[in-house]
């Protein structure tokens, strides 16, 4: 009888703990652990991390589109990417990191050193044109011959083509329907055409979601497909280090929740060189709260790892936001933007034209 009473008591307490957790999910973890310990069943299991919860939620959301790709347009360019330590390259060139300074165009080794130091200090990637063919060839040769240098197929077309070749048969058609952009390319587009927030000279840390959303809206509203415009552009996949946004003109694309989640997921797996997200190797750095516009009275979003894709709408354009799980010790980041764009397209569905 005593054994039966003990079992009933333990079962009753377990039920109470479950009800409390269900009705009061925000109850401090210390209180829940105290209740659990009263069962004398050992310590309560550690709560899942935001990273593992987000990865699990992605896996549930990422589904194949109903209609698969048959034709894909990929620009024609290819090169060889040399991947190595930037610091080791500067040392091999006889340069030491000094005062950082941005250069719109690189003319010499010193310009390379200053630009590298400038962007390294910001933790940001950069692309700059090198005006001197001879100086560039010398630097490229030194880089290619370093012992730790790795060589990969490069160029947007080659990388995206490789990704699609594993998923569909390719044909080519002369129309631009979708763009993939990072924060530098997005701001350059706005600056070059006097678009919204074009007075910004550069991003200060993580690009503001509201500002990014305003520029994406402007591109699709002013230059995207409409009844009065012959443009075929209906989709933009924006990616920065800590989050992605997919913006689409309504009525042209489906499965975009899965597409933006797949693009963000591959950013973590490729950078860490893992087949699946390892929550111990990644970290969540995306903004936990943000506004959807800095030019209009858009809603304020509070992000939850359990619902990793946030959607909002603005005058016939839909936006899908998801964070990125950033690899703590990245193995390979070259070509990551192209992998992101391609993965998002693989999971996208083009709706038939009416």
- pLDDT per residue as tens digits for the range 175-204: 678 888 899 889 988 888 889 999 998 888
Q: Which residues contact 325 (CB under 8 A, 6 or more apart)?
A: 51, 54, 55, 264, 265, 267, 268, 277, 279, 282, 283, 284
Residue 239 and residue 86: Cα distance in Å, rounded? 23
* Mean pLDDT in residue range 13-30: 52
Q: Exactly one of 214, 232, 329, 338 is catalytic; name it.
A: 338
| Per-residue model confidence (pLDDT) at position 163 | 66
| Per-residue model confidence (pLDDT) at position 73 | 63
What interhelical angle do 133-145 and 109-122 show, nearest 10?
Answer: 60
Q: Which residues contact 159 (CB under 8 A, 6 or more apart)?
A: 153, 335, 338, 339, 342
* Mean pLDDT in residue range 9-23: 51
Cβ atoms of residues 269 and 275 within 8 Å? yes
Identify the band that residue 19 occupies on the pLDDT scale cut at 50, 70 and 90: low
Which range has the worst mean pLDDT, 160-174, 262-276, 328-342?
Answer: 160-174
Active-site annotation holds for 329 = no
Q: Which residues contact 320 (CB under 8 A, 6 or more apart)?
A: 245, 246, 247, 248, 256, 257, 259, 260, 309, 310, 311
- pLDDT per residue as tens digits for the range 229-244: 778 899 999 999 999 9
> Does the reported pTM lie above 0.75?
no
* Mean pLDDT in residue range 325-351: 89
Identify the band that residue 126 occupies on the pLDDT scale cut at 50, 70 and 90: confident
What interhelical angle do 156-165 and 336-346 show, nearest 10?
Answer: 40
Identify the band that residue 213 occupies on the pLDDT scale cut at 50, 70 and 90: very high
């Amino acid at each position: 009888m005593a054994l039966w009473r003990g079992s009933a008591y333990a079962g009753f307490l377990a039920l109470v703990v479950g009800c409390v957790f269900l009705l009061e999910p925000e109850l401090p973890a210390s209180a829940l652990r105290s209740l659990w310990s009263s069962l004398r069943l050992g310590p309560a299991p550690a709560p899942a991390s935001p990273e593992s919860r987000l990865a699990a939620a992605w896996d549930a959301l990422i589904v194949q589109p109903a209609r698969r790709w048959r034709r894909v347009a990929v620009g024609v360019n290819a090169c060889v990417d040399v991947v190595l330590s930037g610091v080791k390259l500067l040392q091999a060139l006889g340069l030491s990191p000094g005062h950082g300074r941005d250069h719109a165009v690189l003319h010499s080794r010193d310009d390379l050193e200053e630009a590298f130091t400038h962007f390294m200090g910001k933790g940001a990637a950069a692309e700059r044109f090198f005006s001197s063919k001879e100086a560039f060839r010398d630097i490229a040769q030194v880089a290619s011959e370093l012992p730790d240098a790795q060589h990969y197929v490069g160029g947007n077309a080659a990388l995206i083509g490789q990704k699609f070749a594993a998923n569909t048969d390719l044909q080519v058609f002369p129309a631009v329907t979708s763009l993939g952009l990072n924060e530098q390319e997005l701001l350059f587009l706005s600056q070059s055409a006097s678009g919204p927030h074009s007075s910004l000279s550069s991003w200060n840390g993580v690009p503001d979601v509201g500002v990014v959303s305003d520029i994406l809206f402007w591109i699709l509203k002013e230059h995207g497909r409409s009844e009065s415009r012959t443009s075929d552009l209906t989709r933009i996949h924006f990616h920065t280090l800590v989050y992605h946004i997919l913006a689409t003109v309504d009525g042209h694309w489906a499965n975009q929740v899965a597409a933006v989640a797949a693009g963000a997921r591959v950013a973590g797996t490729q950078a860490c060189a893992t087949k699946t997200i390892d929550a111990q190797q990644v970290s969540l750095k995306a903004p936990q709260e943000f506004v959807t516009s800095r030019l209009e009275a858009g809603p304020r979003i509070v992000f939850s790892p359990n619902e990793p894709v946030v959607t909002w709408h603005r005058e016939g354009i839909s936006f899908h936001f998801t964070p990125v799980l950033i690899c703590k010790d990245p193995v390979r980041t070259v070509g990551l933007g192209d992998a992101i764009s391609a993965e998002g397209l693989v999971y996208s569905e083009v709706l038939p034209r009416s």
